[in-house]
A and B are shown apart, each in its own frame.
Chain A
Amino acid sequence: MGYTNVRYYVGGMTDWGESGAPVERVEAPLTAAQATRNLQPISARRVSWANCLDILANWPLERLVGFWLGIIIVFGFVYWAAGIGMGWGLQAGNTTVKPDFNGLGTAIYFSFVTALSIGYGDVIPLGPLRILAVMEGIAGLLIFGCVISKLVSHRQEELVEEIHRTTFEDRLDRVRTNLHLVLSDLETIDQINREHSALPSHVLKRLESSERVFTGELKTIHDLLYRTRLLPEEDALESLLANLTLCLAALIDLLNSQTQRSAGLNADLKTISNLANEICGECVPRTHAPASKQWMDQIQELAKKLA
């Protein structure tokens, strides 16, 4: 390209990151609500019920269940202790619950019944304990609601993950099938090209169509290698890369012996060249098996020929 003062940092981002040197990231822009909230000093942020519920909803399920059980046990002890010190206590039927071990069991049982809003009525609180029981009922229901919603959303997340995985596998199957079709199309067109001095217009259109399909599938594989959230097994990836290499090689062979090219075909070829040029063993963010890396390097070499 004519530049005379270019040097290469061979270690690249891998070496840079491992050395602990600063790395800059492009953060996703904050939403308006997040930005406004972050601008407020902590003291000015209102501690509301909604905030508390948000905090609870963000807790992991185990902690939430533990907190809920903890509240019930603590309230149970309070009901029991109130019977010893204050003389209010609980009443079961016509008798006051005694401040002994059995009484502690009854107090915890009452606490569970209250927290779940069951309200059998076999044990009732006396005096100011009634206010405490109402408070426990409200707190218990809210936290239990969070536990239930967590369980439901956990199941939903599993289902969504399953749907993503199935869609991903279907997509890979489609890519593989399409690459096979493109390859057989290119071979057929190459044969026609050898039999005729110039390609008939309908065959030229078929070539364009195959080109377009190939560009789309190349883009998919390119995205697959650079967005690493979901990745196929190494064997499956290797077979995709092998198919891609074969298609690219067949395309180059065909183009070497065929000079008729429409504007659309040329535009697609440029896209193919650019995308394939970015598929190389050392460029992709994740380390792959040597066999996959070799295919990637071959694809990049072929891209140079196409350019």
Chain B
Amino acid sequence: MKQTAPHMKTSGHKQTISREEILSRLQDPAFALVNVMPKETFEAGHIPHSINLPLGEIEATARQVFPVLTREIAVYCMGST
């Protein structure tokens, strides 16, 4: 993850979110969950209510999907194995 979402960096340090918080906020419409994996991997399995924005397309599509820059977003990919 540390190297997989470089486009979403907000500053030098990155804030993280826990699994428990994601679980508790899955139904929260103000909270957006973004999966940055390729489409095939997303289709094979993802966290419910996630939006798929593959890394390669994120530059082009992020502003269309999330026009408000203060929107609360959680980003994830495959994670460390």
Contacts and interface: CB of A to CB of B under 8 A. Distances in A.
Contacts of B14: 7-8
B45 A5 contact: no
A86 interface: no
Contact of A11 (B9, B56, B80): B80
A19 B45 contact: no
Nearest to B35: A13
Given A12-B79, A23-B46, A5 B70 contact: yes
Contacts of B70: 3-5
Interface stretch (A104-112, A127-135, A169-177, A282-290): A282-290
A12 B71 contact: no
B56 A16 contact: no
A238 interface: no
Q: Is the interface of A mostly helix, strand, loop or mixed?
A: loop
Interface stretch (A73-81, A204-212, A271-279): A271-279
Contact of B78 (A6, A275, A277, A284): A284
B19 to A, nearest CB: 6
A278 B16 contact: no
A201 to B, nearest CB: 31
Contacts of A280: 3-4
A9 B50 CA distance: 12
A277 B4 CA distance: 8
Contacts of B42: 26
A292 interface: no
Interface residues of B, number: 54
A273 B59 CA distance: 12
Contact of A275 (B9, B56, B66): B56
Given A4-B69, A23-B47, A9 B1 contact: yes
Counting chain A residues whose Cβ lies within 8 A of the other chain, the interface size class is: 35 or more
Contacts of A24: 45-50
A2 B69 contact: yes
A102 interface: no
Contact of B17 (A9, A227, A278, A285): A9
A21 B47 contact: yes
B47 to A, nearest CB: 6
B35 to A, nearest CB: 8
The list of the 4 closest CB pairs from A to B, nearest first, reads A12-B79, A274-B56, A9-B76, A26-B43
19 contacts: A3-B73, A4-B10, A5-B72, A6-B10, A7-B16, A8-B14, A9-B16, A9-B74, A10-B2, A11-B79, A21-B19, A21-B47, A24-B45, A25-B45, A226-B38, A274-B55, A277-B56, A282-B77, A285-B41
Interface of A: 1-17, 19, 21-26, 226-227, 273-275, 277-278, 280-285, 287, 297, 300, 304
